[in-house]
Amino acid sequence: MIVILGLGGVLVVLVLAVVASYNRFVRQHQLIDNAWANVDTELRRRYDLIPNLVETVRGYAHHERAALEALTQARSQAAESNGSPATQAADENVLVSALRGLLAVAEAYPDLEANEGFLDLQRQLVATEDRIQAARRFYNNNVRDYNTRVQSIPANLVARAFRFNEREYFDIDEALATASAPTASFDH
């Protein structure tokens, strides 16, 4: 009788541990989804700023058509991307490169660099880039914690049983990661 009660107690503890682990996976999964939504919100904010920036530059730099078109095309591609974080990151790499190209073109036009509208757009862009990086770090930290649990014993048994798979990081191109963020010059 004592052996049956002991086995029953062990079984109850085991079931409670599985339920607790499952619930933790669900919480982490929701946290990652929420963190991705924050990344997406900040990316959308940047997409909304770009047309205004393009129009401001277009007014001053009529013959810089290639840079303007490259940025417009990259923005459209990135804004339409709704795939995995890896797919989104690839589109973002193209967009950031095109944006850097446009800002480099703007440096050749002193009147544009002194334009208050352009300076305001640059400030907003810098703030948005900072928020994107913070949201990306938060997302990737949550993915790291979740993936660690998916791979760790004994949580990996629960993960396998209930099909909790590893999630993708939102990684940017190494060349862009080491480059400085777009900056605004406020000394005009």
In this predicted structure, what is the pLDDT of residue 174? 57
Of 104, 120, 30, the residue nearest 61 (C-alpha): 104
Cβ count within 10 A of residue 24: 15
Mean pLDDT by 10 residues, the chain (188 residues): 92 96 97 96 95 88 84 94 89 92 86 86 93 96 98 97 97 61 43
d(CA 24, CA 152): 14
- Tell if the pTM clears 0.95, that is, is over it: no
List the structure tokens of 68: 């303007």
d(CA 50, CA 66): 15
In this predicted structure, what is the pLDDT of residue 135? 97
Write the class of the CATH domain 22-178: mainly alpha
**What are the C-alpha distances in Å from 128 to residues 26, 27, 100, 125, 134?**
30, 28, 14, 5, 10
In this predicted structure, what is the pLDDT of residue 110? 85
